[in-house]
Amino acid sequence: MMRGALFLAVTLIPTTALAADHTNLEEGLPVEAADAYVVGHYSREVQALTRYEYSRERTSKVTLDPRFEWGVIRNGQVAVRVPVVLETGKHVDIGRVAADALYNFNQETLTVPAFALGGMIEAPTGAESRRKGFDPAVRLNVTKHLPGTTFLHALHFNGVWQFNVRRDEMERSGRYRLIGAYSFRVSSWIMGIADFAHEQRMQTGKVQNLAELGFRMQLTPLLVAAVGGGVGIGADSPAFRAAVAVQYRPF
Amino acid sequence: MRFARATLCFALLATTATSACSLHLEQRDAVASRRRSYNNAFFWRHNTQFRTSGAIHFAHGKQHDVLQLGTLAHAAEIDRDFEAECLAWFRDPPRMEPTMMTYGPHVGQAAWRLYQAIDWTHIHHEQTYDILSDRDIPWSKKAEVTRDAVDYYLENLPRAARSPAPLELTMRRAMVMMKPYFGVYRNNHPRSATFFYYAHWWHPAIYEAQMLGGNGSEQDAIVDATHATSTEVLANRPQRMLLSREIMPRYSRMSPESANIFDNLHMLHGIAYAILAYDGWTIDEKRAELYRVVEAMSAQPGDRELARKFAIEHPDVDPRRYEPWMRGYEGPMNKMMEEMFEGMWPMMSPDGSKEVPPEVREQLKMKLSPATQPGELPGSLHDAVMKLVPNMKMDKEGMKPGATPKHAAMATKEWLDKAQGMPNVEPFPMTDGAAK
């Protein structure tokens, strides 16, 4: 627990300069839900997420998740992430390294939502690298703002299917994750997001539910900070989770 | 696997449904702002002014939805409440500059390309303020760095970028004077319209304050003093849209492209508000007309070569002073509109006469002024002129949403011919340490 808290503190110190647009929802920054929009073409963004999770078994897990995101084409972005995980009773470990891409098909209209399709591949590292494979995933993001009002309120849906390429005996062949979210403008520089994430774990028979609330704040024209937290619902879910993150366009 | 199949089916169904219903679909095509060392310089050096710009852009964004979601029958009340909200934001400006979508999400969903044009140009505003604010860019390099920002702006989103040519050209391309919405916003929302006349004094006045101040501390003092003039300008607002060449003649000489881009943006705001305030068209018809105007006033091949085709009447203006000539009806903006009308008149008059009748000219002046003037006929300029000259020859097709009036091509050609004989405005000497 102490080591987790220390990790959290250390991670927060250097992340004073980091982002882009607080209205563009990004996965994990600070909640699970993302919108169907991508960063602008040419945007190169550094993101740093620190997440603390406390389980029902009274163990702590801190994940430091640095990412690089690039608006590589019009309406399309790619990102890579290399998480570092510190968990009670375990050695510091590199988490599952991931590369993902997302393409937005349309700007929403008064009646038609925005759609984005994406793909991801997760690579096993550290302790699990010898026995696990590269697991690809596909995702669909949908976003619709509420028409007829000047309030910036929007509904979001994320659906993810991840394949389990080299499964263990007690694992599924693949798993899904479903997220519903509601985002709302708090002020010119703060957006709020409430979401509910339901997902299968790779272990057979286990599902996780999380209800989250987060805020994204534009601190300077290039820097966004995000804070959020959530509570787990159900026996296989974490007891609670908290996240802080920053995004910055360094070059 | 079942989930993957279901997801794919959902995406295919959604795509099929949207295309089958001929719904208006377009891609977002966002481009990131130019990332350079000067980014954030305006934010850090002139934070009060950065935030004021944010308040103005809040007003711009929200005005779209206020007009579209409101009705003309309640215009007086809507106008009063909205102006009060704008002034409250001016007094307590936001920490960040909101995009159009942030406070005008309804119209953003109906006509995305309008917002793309506005936001892209607001980014250009921010970047050009940054360049002048950044002490690390030598004064002699400001024009060059600004040119680089203009290049990026024009090259990366050409359909969204506003034209670097003078408004005299783009207004002829757009040719909005006889459209049924012309005058509707100024007539029915005069408090809001004149708040934006203030805003369009403020933006160029701040550039010119930076130009007067140079890189040193004098810039801070002159920018603050210019900003302080806001109280006087808001209390006694301009009665016309002020042009870049009037309020920031030095900046207009240094970067005529950028100056014209801002004029074209500011005029787009006014036209968009008139279209949205007009209640005779559906939202689809309004989008058709908005997109036509966005296109007509966009950067087009050859525009850049015309950037210096304007004259400066007050080259030594001090932005800290709110001069009497800034306040009234008379000025290049309305002169341009009157000249355009005079050019159209021979094609509209029943007998082909070239002279605009005095009573028609009088109505034109009233329609170009905010609020309803004593003796002003109700409705658009077209309605007023038709009442005075019932046999006027009208381009009925050209009045429809999304249609370009047939006068446009001829008026554009006439101005291009005239521009050939016009002298270019002189560049502004940008030598280190001598801004004036």
Q: What is the pLDDT of residues B293-312, one digit of tens each?
A: 999 999 999 999 999 999 99
List the one residue out of A121, A141, A120, A118 whose CA is nearest residue A33.
Answer: A141
A contacts of B10 (beta carbons < 8 Å): 140, 159
Please judge whether B30 and A149 are an interchain contact, meaning their C-beta atoms are less than 8 angstroms apart. no
Tell which A residues from 187 to 226 touch B, by Cβ distance under 8 Å.
187-189, 218, 220-222
Tally of structural domains, chain B: 1
Nearest-by-CA chain A residue for B5: A161
Query: Which pair of tokens denotes residue A83?
Result: 């998480």
Measure the CA angle with vertex A45, ends A41 and A48; round to 5°.
Answer: 150
Partner residue facing A221 (CB), from B27, B31, B40 = B40
CATH number at residue A177: 2.40.160.40
pLDDT grade for A89, boundaries at 50, 70 and 90: confident
A contacts of B54 (beta carbons < 8 Å): 188
Please judge whether A174 and B3 are an interchain contact, meaning their C-beta atoms are less than 8 angstroms apart. yes
Please judge whether A140 and B7 are an interchain contact, meaning their C-beta atoms are less than 8 angstroms apart. yes
Q: Does A164 touch chain B (CB under 8 A)?
A: no
What's the confidence (pLDDT) of residue A95?
Answer: 85
What's the confidence (pLDDT) of residue A166?
Answer: 85
Tell me if B173 is assigned to some domain. no
Tally of structural domains, chain A: 1
Tell which B residues from 276 to 295 touch A, by Cβ distance under 8 Å.
283
B384-400 tens-digit pLDDT: 999 999 999 988 899 99
Averaged confidence pLDDT in chain B: 93
Tell me if B119 is assigned to some domain. yes
- Point out the least confidently predicted range of A61-70, B19-28, B188-197: B19-28
Q: Does B5 touch chain A (CB under 8 A)?
A: no
Domain that holds residue B227: 36-164+187-271+300-330
Measure the CA angle with vertex B344, ends B339 and B348; round to 5°.
Answer: 145
Please judge whether A149 and B1 are an interchain contact, meaning their C-beta atoms are less than 8 angstroms apart. no
Please determine, for residue B48, whether its predicted confidence score (pLDDT) is greater than 90: yes
* CB-count burial class (<10 Å; 0-12, 13-18, 19+) for B138: middle
**CA–CA separation, B7 vs A161, rounded Å?**
9
Tell which A residues from 100 to 129 touch B, by Cβ distance under 8 Å.
104-115, 117
Query: Which pair of tokens denotes residue A145?
Result: 């703002």
A17-69 tens-digit pLDDT: 333 589 999 999 999 999 999 999 999 999 999 999 999 999 999 999 999 99
B266-281 tens-digit pLDDT: 999 999 999 999 999 9
Tell me if B227 is assigned to some domain. yes
Cis peptide leading into B378, omega within 30 of 0?
Answer: no
Tell me if B115 is assigned to some domain. yes
Partner residue facing A107 (CB), from B14, B28, B102 = B28
- Do residues B208 and B247 touch, judged by C-beta distance below 8 A? yes
Tell me if B140 is assigned to some domain. yes
Percentage of chain A exceeding pLDDT 70: 91
Partner residue facing A41 (CB), from B32, B35, B95 = B32
Tell me if B180 is assigned to some domain. no
Domain that holds residue A207: 2-248
What are the residues whose beta carbons fall under 8 Å from the beta carbon of B374, sequence distance 6 or more?
none
Please determine, for residue B316, whether its predicted confidence score (pLDDT) is greater than 70: yes
What's the confidence (pLDDT) of residue A19?
Answer: 35
Partner residue facing A150 (CB), from B18, B30, B103 = B103
ipTM of the complex: 0.90
